[in-house]
A and B are shown apart, each in its own frame.
Chain A
């Protein structure tokens, strides 16, 4: 058994979901996503036992493109993140009725397939194919099942689509250039490529454009808030929970090792960009009127920090970035789900129309509060582990980076608590708010359990990712 099994399960799942009809679709999708998760855990077990679970097969001969799926610790961690979040996301949508549900759930599984593929691919072009493939389902999900005015939604979604596609095009150019140079798209061949510092700079920038848009790093973030707001919550969760991580992961996997000289030379600039995102995102989030938009900007701030950590090129920075990616994935899915839970009851996302929920629903309040606190990286949550490591690595580069990046813990607390106060506290709202149902509770509980468990015991993940990060670092520091 190797990693291709996961992809096959997901792909079959997507077809089966589509064929199962609207009524059964959600359950079939959940089943397949759980099966994929189980399979990946099994594979993790095998991997830890020292088994080789990578997969390689020929695909196209000229130009040489290989179906190479490489599963190292980092890849497995990201796939696990994807596959752990997918069932949660699917399950969290059980309270909603979607028209044409079979396509909807099939698209979700298909997206999971593409994203898992992106995390596993070890061939540049295969990776690119998966990368772009992930864009297609989210485009339809956001466009068809989104909310708000259809015309505005179309505008936002098309902008997102073209924007990210345009960014990726530069990445493709870089890959083709690399192919000209090395005659292969294979990861290790690209790692071994001899490139002058000038070439590296251009390749680095080409990758950067693709990733900066996907992550997003300011000033490439303009698609984000609007799409998050317009997309259905499931889509937002997929986008913010997993798809953002594709960009961040790619920075570690592709950008830094292939163009290390450029990364080293312009280290300060890229870290500064990330940190600027932290501060900017936090400040903009303060005055958002729409709950989902606020969360979008908070996400911008967090990924800014992750990106800054990645660009430090230290083991701590990379490790912290990966930990924070996983933590952020869970917490942001939880937060968007909370927004969805409120929407199901109040039919609004305007913060000003909420308030007084706590009186009516203590359970929901507790869960939401824990998520808010995790999002502001309270110690003993997983996010703290990541954020601490990242900030520590920043402090090793320059203490001011840590100070400026650290403002996130102040500003983050400010906007999140302000939001929490406006949404949850205060006098009872005139509208009734039923407390969380069992289904909703389970989704929350799983997310919170993960966050708290790894908050105290992040060792399994750290042990999983560290060897592959060390490999990447050794490639970066090879000369």
Chain B
């Protein structure tokens, strides 16, 4: 029964993928969209059933299908593990997945390759589910690379534009750098404990060692790649080249949180590697701040959201670094709600403006698109940490944890939060308030999107509002639910004292401050960001993302390409010349030797006589 349920869970999206691949075109757009959505919805229902079961019994379900890879001291099964963590993850993966599928039916309706889009989305959900429910690291790795592949396919969905293809390629390759880290981590763990199975591993891991720390570090590199942390974050902003639902699903809500999932899953490993935890916290904090600063000045609506995602992911890693896994998970969930909502809202805006993404050409959309506006407003409030929206609780918990462990990182995180509030409301003011700054024709066509788009928005907005209820300070359902997973009883149950309330107040004030600055700058003073050429000074540095892409290009990509050219033009020809050299030398010897053959019989005979004499004398003397 459990096996069947698990298989149903995994294979329904895969079936959807197959149907859309082979018959999608003939089925027509609506049908293929419906099939895609249904496939994910069925998974969602199955997840609900499973969730119900696990929540009541409190026990995980393990399903083993068959042996997959045999290595001398490792036996790797293709198996699934459905426990609290994975089912929780599945809930929002399939839940938000279904909503986004639904949304896409309308959003992608004009695209000729809609069936392909849905097949990729279904494939993505399939791999994401595999990632989440795999019972060992290698099955996770299938999903891990699989979602990377789908991300590649979907970023480059409009494949006629080579820039988009570049972005897709970049995403895949950067992910692969992380994947190598993950693989190495697996190797180390595999050779240390002879297993990659979570359950076995949990009992096997007992004490920290340098090697274990190295493994944890390698695994974290993997997480960096997938979850867009320094130094591997640059692909995520570029990944916005894909259609907006993709950005919402893959690059905000689900795939990018895979790194956090993995770290949470292996919490028992990371708990023993304290140094690595520090590294994680520091990198998370820095990423969070760096991305937030870049987000301050971006003018592309999706870019702002992308940097915001990176920044929020940084905050989650900050929490992970302190061992507060449930806090990170909590933020993953609330973030999934409001960030998906924001992306879908921005998609709705872009859809309404026929592809315009530059905020400088928007404005005043509040009246034309009220539902979009209100849902996005709610989500912005949530992400800014305004009290009683979901983001308030989760972000506050993170900062609280940070405060308890390290004041500097707390300060960094807080500054990032203030910035978040600022750029989100900058986005809101520029997009929805004041006058419309686009062309007359666009203005003419302004309209609220259809119900297939607005319904998911509304649902997500509701979730973004109330999502915080699952883990109220002092009375956290989530912590209790997840507690079987963690070895250390840490983080969750804060005693709500004066410090905590003060911190909460500071956080709220910070958020409000950010909103206020945005209000003054973009509403009161009615500033509109300068066009690209006129950006100078610090803004220019921020606007150009600290030139990190350029630095990578110059330090890594260019040298490799140069090396490739050098190898091709010089080393290859050099070795070839060396090999040919043998032939040449032989030829030369023959050519020179040819000259001895003068053709003069006299000479031959002379030499013959000398030789004869020599041989005869030798034989004679040798006696």
The stretch of B37-45, B156-164, B361-369, B528-536 in contact with A is: B156-164
Please measure, in the bound complex, the distance between the C-alpha atom of A298 and the C-alpha atom of B142, giving whole angstroms. 23
Please measure, in the bound complex, the distance between the C-alpha atom of A427 and the C-alpha atom of B408, giving whole angstroms. 51
Please measure, in the bound complex, the distance between the C-alpha atom of A407 and the C-alpha atom of B564, giving whole angstroms. 15
List CB contacts (< 8 Å) of A404-456 with chain B. 406-407, 409-411, 413-414, 417-418, 421, 424-428, 456
Interface string of B31-68 (1 = CB under 8 A from A): 00000000000000000000000000000000000111
Q: Does the CB pair B66–A457 fall under 8 Å?
A: yes
Q: Does the CB pair A406–B184 fall under 8 Å?
A: yes
Q: Does the CB pair B572–A284 fall under 8 Å?
A: yes
Asked if B596 CB lies within 8 Å of chain A CBs, one says no
The stretch of A75-83, A261-269, A335-343, A384-392 in contact with B is: A384-392
Where chain A touches its partner, the secondary structure class is helix
Contacts of B184 in A (CB 8 A): 395, 399, 402-403, 406
Please measure, in the bound complex, the distance between the C-alpha atom of A78 and the C-alpha atom of B21, giving whole angstroms. 34
Q: Does the CB pair B72–A283 fall under 8 Å?
A: no
Asked if B238 CB lies within 8 Å of chain A CBs, one says no
Asked if B173 CB lies within 8 Å of chain A CBs, one says yes
Please measure, in the bound complex, the distance between the C-alpha atom of A414 and the C-alpha atom of B156, giving whole angstroms. 15
The stretch of B186-194, B201-209, B487-495 in contact with A is: B186-194
Question: What is the interface size of chain A, counting residues whose CB is below 8 A from a CB of the partner?
Answer: 61
Asked if A314 CB lies within 8 Å of chain B CBs, one says yes
Q: Given A283-B563, A284-B564, A385-B69, does the pair A417, B173 have CB atoms closer than 8 Å? A: yes
Contacts of A280 in B (CB 8 A): 567
Q: Does the CB pair A410–B176 fall under 8 Å?
A: yes
Interface string of B135-165 (1 = CB under 8 A from A): 0001001101110010010001001101001
Asked if B565 CB lies within 8 Å of chain A CBs, one says yes
Minimum CB–CB distance from B38 to chain A (whole Å) comes to: 23
Q: Does the CB pair A410–B173 fall under 8 Å?
A: yes
Q: Which 10 A-B pairs have the closest CB atoms?
A: A395-B187, A286-B564, A287-B564, A379-B142, A222-B576, A425-B159, A406-B180, A284-B567, A421-B165, A417-B169
Contacts of A218 in B (CB 8 A): 575
Q: Which residue of A lies closest to B565 (CB)?
A: A287
Q: Does the CB pair A392–B71 fall under 8 Å?
A: yes
Please measure, in the bound complex, the distance between the C-alpha atom of A286 and the C-alpha atom of B159, giving whole angstroms. 21
| Total number of residue pairs linking A and B with CB closer than 8 Å | 138
Q: Given A162-B583, A283-B560, A426-B165, does the pair A380, B160 have CB atoms closer than 8 Å? A: no
Asked if B70 CB lies within 8 Å of chain A CBs, one says yes
Asked if B354 CB lies within 8 Å of chain A CBs, one says no
Asked if A219 CB lies within 8 Å of chain B CBs, one says yes
Contacts of A406 in B (CB 8 A): 180, 183-184
Q: Which one of A223, A316, A379, A406 has the greatest number of beta carbons of chain B within 10 Å?
A: A379
Q: Does the CB pair A458–B69 fall under 8 Å?
A: yes
Q: Does the CB pair B172–A456 fall under 8 Å?
A: no
List CB contacts (< 8 Å) of B477-518 with chain A. none
Asked if A373 CB lies within 8 Å of chain B CBs, one says yes
Minimum CB–CB distance from B608 to chain A (whole Å) comes to: 33
Q: Does the CB pair A379–B145 fall under 8 Å?
A: yes
Minimum CB–CB distance from B186 to chain A (whole Å) comes to: 8
Asked if B552 CB lies within 8 Å of chain A CBs, one says no
Please measure, in the bound complex, the distance between the C-alpha atom of A356 and the C-alpha atom of B187, giving whole angstroms. 40
List CB contacts (< 8 Å) of B121-146 with chain A. 138, 141-142, 144-146
Q: Given A406-B180, A425-B156, does the pair A380, B142 have CB atoms closer than 8 Å? A: yes
A-B contact pairs, 10 of them (CB 8 A): A222-B576, A283-B560, A283-B564, A316-B71, A319-B70, A378-B149, A402-B184, A414-B169, A417-B173, A458-B68
Minimum CB–CB distance from B405 to chain A (whole Å) comes to: 31
Asked if B179 CB lies within 8 Å of chain A CBs, one says yes
Asked if B568 CB lies within 8 Å of chain A CBs, one says yes
Q: Does the CB pair A389–B66 fall under 8 Å?
A: no
Contacts of A392 in B (CB 8 A): 71, 74, 187, 190-191
Q: Which residue of A lies closest to B211 (CB)?
A: A399
Q: Which residue of A lies closest to B169 (CB)?
A: A417
Contacts of B191 in A (CB 8 A): 392, 395-396
Question: What is the interface size of chain B, counting residues whose CB is below 8 A from a CB of the partner?
Answer: 53
Asked if B19 CB lies within 8 Å of chain A CBs, one says no
Q: Does the CB pair B172–A413 fall under 8 Å?
A: yes
Asked if A315 CB lies within 8 Å of chain B CBs, one says yes
Q: Given A378-B149, A406-B183, does the pair A426, B159 have CB atoms closer than 8 Å? A: yes
Asked if B580 CB lies within 8 Å of chain A CBs, one says yes
Q: Does the CB pair A378–B70 fall under 8 Å?
A: no
Q: Does the CB pair B180–A409 fall under 8 Å?
A: yes
Contacts A388-B183, A409-B176, A425-B160 given; 16 further ones with Cβ under 8 A? A219-B578, A222-B572, A283-B563, A283-B564, A366-B21, A380-B146, A391-B187, A395-B184, A395-B187, A402-B184, A402-B187, A410-B176, A421-B165, A428-B160, A459-B68, A459-B70
Asked if A359 CB lies within 8 Å of chain B CBs, one says yes
Q: Does the CB pair B160–A359 fall under 8 Å?
A: yes
Minimum CB–CB distance from A421 to chain B (whole Å) comes to: 5
Asked if B78 CB lies within 8 Å of chain A CBs, one says yes
Minimum CB–CB distance from A447 to chain B (whole Å) comes to: 18
Please measure, in the bound complex, the distance between the C-alpha atom of A424 and the C-alpha atom of B72, giving whole angstroms. 41
Contacts of B162 in A (CB 8 A): 421, 425-426
Minimum CB–CB distance from B600 to chain A (whole Å) comes to: 34
Contacts of B597 in A (CB 8 A): none
Minimum CB–CB distance from B226 to chain A (whole Å) comes to: 14
Contacts of A225 in B (CB 8 A): 572
Asked if A358 CB lies within 8 Å of chain B CBs, one says yes
Asked if B177 CB lies within 8 Å of chain A CBs, one says yes
Please measure, in the bound complex, the distance between the C-alpha atom of A87 and the C-alpha atom of B576, giving whole angstroms. 34
List CB contacts (< 8 Å) of B13-30 with chain A. 21
List CB contacts (< 8 Å) of B561-590 with chain A. 561, 563-565, 567-568, 571-572, 575-576, 578-580, 583
Asked if A52 CB lies within 8 Å of chain B CBs, one says no
